[in-house]
Structure 1
Amino acid sequence: MEKLRFFATTVIGLEDVASREVESLIGVKTEQDVGRIAFHGNLEDVYLLNLKASTINKVFIELYGSTFQSLNDIYRLAKSLDYTWILDAQQTFAIRSERVGVHNFTSMDVSRVVGQAVIDSFANATGKRLKVNLDEPDVEIYCLVRNSDFIMGVNTTGASLHKRGYRVYSHPAALKPTIASAMLRIGDWTPANSLIDPMCGGATIPIEAALEASGIPPNHLRKDFAFLRLKICNQETFEKIRAEALAQQKLESACKICAMEKFAKHVQGGIENAKKAGVHETISFKIGDATKPQDYPEAQFDFIVVNPPYGLRANPKEGVRKLYESFLKALKTKLPEATLVIITAASKRFKEAAENTGITIIKDRKIWHGELLANIFTCKI
């Protein structure tokens, strides 16, 4: 089969991080757009990315990508495509649409006309009518309308890859694993460096670091990849790639990773998550208050990577600034010369705290953390 064009979605603000990861994993050139990257490759690349990529959400086979003028245009363009190489007549499908910009139609209208276009195109080619299943389709086709751009793709992933499968304990302010992994990359952390997360919650950041250090594919627990239901999928090839990826994991890791947390129930939850991920022996867990130097381990750490409270629900803004100041003072006392990578939606309060404690902000980037606009700061303690 000739090279296919793909696009992968990611968190808005992390496109460059995802690009570098994809380029490193499969050796291709990527193009960046808002919340997604595009590239050419083959089906083996799809299998590998879905298993091993840690900063992307979904991988799609691109069916169409260009401009349009009207809803009728979208129907005509979608109807002109061939779907027989993706779908069998007995399979069901669904259209999932997103719309950004000002239009005289909704995303539901897009799904309706594209769904009809797929049915009509397939019927013209085969004489058979496809069935729609909106709840559990065999094949999911994604449509994005952004201003005058129209993109269609086949979902090869299924549910987003940020759902790693190891979160048996859910912290109330949990960080997406894709963002946690990106933070490690933004800070230039490698398994050769020691790391502590002193406000670890459910231990997402330490787990992502431990997966990297252990060579364990971050999505190794996933059983239901959507590409397994595509008629072009070769399950034997996928199982071979999966076995090769799993064989690369290290039996022991020398990387020093510590997860510290003030509340015992979160520590226990983090341990359970690490066990599910298969990395509990790589992480040391500790009960401790991140604002108290005496609570930290005796050892020094090269990196502090952390997702602290933002103060959006319970704590007043001044309380958050004071928390950040106490935390930064503890780091200056206990971990001088370390690199801090921190994410917060209370960016103004963190900048004030950094200035008040003499912490230098080296890098600052904005990302969308769910519905929140957050900043990832890299600092020198």
Structure 2
Amino acid sequence: MAENRRDEPFFMTATTQFGLEDVLTQELEQLGAKIEQVHSRAIEFMGNKQLLYEANLWCRTAMRILKPFAAFYAPDEKALYREVGRVDWSRYIRPDQTFAITAVVNKSTFEHSLFVAQLTKDAIVDQFRDRTGSRPSVDVNKPDIRLHLHMLDNEVTLSLDASGESLHRRGYRQQTNAAPLNEVLAAGLLLLTGWDGKKTLIDPMCGSGTILTEAALIAQRIAPGLYHQGKFGFENWPDFDLALWESVQLDARNAQIEEPQAYIGGSDISPEFLELARQNVEAAGLEDYIRLAVRDMREAKAPKGDPGLVIMNPPYGERIGEEEQMAELYKMIGDTLKSNFQGYDAYIFTGNLDAAKRVGLKASRRIPLFNGPIDCRLLKYELYQGSRRVARPE
């Protein structure tokens, strides 16, 4: 009987960042998911318990994997309290466990998501108190069970959060003072380029090394979820299958490739940043796969061998009065790419679209993304050797 339960498919939702929906869809399909719908920042799909575990372990561009379990219409406070109270909460939370609710409210008669979360919490706690005399506690920081409530036009979906800590927090990143890319976005940039994990990859403005670290994880076929700190959310669920989870983790460990698959190199002008990058790379156990050096961008050169990919996330210059400085920086980036990386595909990820015009190259692709609240573009430049006509194979 356990085998059947394990294989029974159910609905799930994977959340991601704007612009990464297509690459996450591909990741889920490679794991065997049946895609139902692609929304902005969310993919609905079908799969079994094994897929739920694998999606948390393997998806590089998912923020969370959610398992919806109840849906209803709630036009007002009374209806919300009543409908939440109709769910048998003993199926999802034990009285000795802690829980937390994240509510997202759009286009509804309810104005505040915090109020919706509070009312939902009251209905859950009251049910436990009425039935058992004891109740689970709320822990907003590290709950055993995380619940998500999504309300759109007063249609409510309740989901269990299978991930726990957001999946972008891989666990390898040491303390950092800078504002680095989050790991999901860094992996997403790499997947958007179509990099195959075999070609040379250079980041000449590597900062604390997130793009390089994610590149090595892709090249060596390492599941990012193996770095996850603490328990995944599903490990606290009543139907958690430890034997299945252990076999999924074992399969992931066996999938890793020991032999370096690509030349991955990074540099930065700042010794402090490079030291941070070294610490992060070592924390991820990837020092055999990534070469690091303190170097001015102007001195960055392509290593010998076939051309590959050069990718970077230069400063955006958010402070007042930095416009001229940024214009010079982006012009220097363009000049260096043209002279030192001929034959490469170059990708610049930036939130400063004015400065990007100073690169002096025509972008062949412009992919809209966000870095936190900042509207950004991933710009692709094809750095032809000689003239474009000569570079084209017959």
Per the TM superposition, whether the score is higher than 0.5 is: yes
1:47-84 CA-to-partner distances (Å, cap 9, x unmatched) read: 11111111011111112346543333333332333333
Q: Distance in 2 between matches of 1:30 and 1:245?
A: 26
SS in 1 for 2:378: strand
Q: Is the 8 A contact 1:202 1:266 kept in 2?
A: yes
Match of 1:322 in 2: 328
Distance in 1, Cα, partners of 2:380 & 2:177: 24
Amino acid at match of 2:135: L
3-state SS, counterpart of residue 35 of structure 2: coil
CA distance in 2, matches of 1:111, 1:69: 15
1:239 matched residue in structure 2: 246
SS of the aligned residue for 2:90 comes to: coil
Shift in Å at residue 43 of structure 1?
1.7
C-alpha contact (below 8 Å) 2:311/2:347 kept by paired residues: yes
CA distance in 1 between partners of 2:136 and 2:208 (Å): 42
Task: Indicate if the aligned counterparts of 2:33 and 2:46 stay in contact, CA closer than 8 A.
Answer: no
Structure 1 residues 295 and 231 mapped into 2: Cα distance closer, same or farther (>3 Å)?
same
Q: Which residue of 1 aligns with 2:281?
A: 274
Q: Distance in 2 between matches of 1:113 and 1:140?
A: 16
Q: Distance in 2 between matches of 1:129 and 1:40?
A: 36
Instruction: Kindly provide the CA deviation profile for residues 16-62 of structure 1, in whole angstroms up to 9, marking residues without a partner as x.
Output: 22112111123322421222111111221121111111101111111
Q: 1:220 and 1:247 mapped to 2: Cα distance? A: 12
1:163-182 CA distances to partner (integer Å, 9 max, x unpaired)?
11111142502011101111
Deviations 1:245-281 (A, max 9, x none): 0111111113111011111121121111111112111
Which region of structure 1 is more displaced relative to structure 2, 220-229 or 330-339?
A: 220-229
Contact 2:217 2:223 in 1 (8 A): yes
1:71, 1:105 within 8 Å by CA — same for their partners in 2? Answer: no
2:318 to 312, 317, 321: 312
Aligned to 1:170: 176
1:1-381 correspondence to structure 2 within 5 Å: 1=5, 2-65=8-71, 68-101=74-107, 103-121=109-127, 127=132, 129-135=134-140, 136-170=142-176, 172-222=178-228, 223-290=230-297, 292=298, 294-299=299-304, 301-313=307-319, 316-350=322-356, 352-354=357-359, 357=360, 359-381=361-383
The alpha carbon displacement at 1:122 in A equals 5.1
How far apart in 2 are the matches of 1:366 and 1:67?
34
Structure 1 range deviating more: 32-41 or 70-79? 70-79
Given that residues 258 and 285 in structure 1 are in contact (C-alpha distance below 8 angstroms), is that contact kept between their aligned partners in structure 2?
A: yes
Does the CA-based 8 Å contact 1:64-1:153 persist in structure 2?
A: yes
RMSD of equivalent CA atoms? 2.1
Opposite residue 217 of structure 2, the aligned amino acid is: L
8 Å Cα contact 1:267-1:286 kept in structure 2? yes
Q: How many residues align?
A: 374
* TM-score, normalised relative to structure 1: 0.91
Identity of aligned residues (%): 24
Q: Report SS of the residue matched to 2:45.
A: strand
- Cα separation, partners in 2 of 1:307 and 1:171, compared to 1, 3 Å: farther
User: 1:152: Cα distance to partner?
Assistant: 1.6
Asked if the contact 1:345/1:373 (under 8 Å) is kept, the reply is: yes
Q: Which amino acid aligns with 2:377?
A: N
Deviates more, 1:336-345 or 1:326-335: 336-345
Give unpaired runs (5+ residues) of structure 2.
384-394
Gaps of at least 5 residues in structure 1 are none
How far off its partner does 1:230 sit? 0.9
Tell me: CA distance 1:76–1:32, structure 2 relative to 1, closer, same or farther (3 Å).
farther
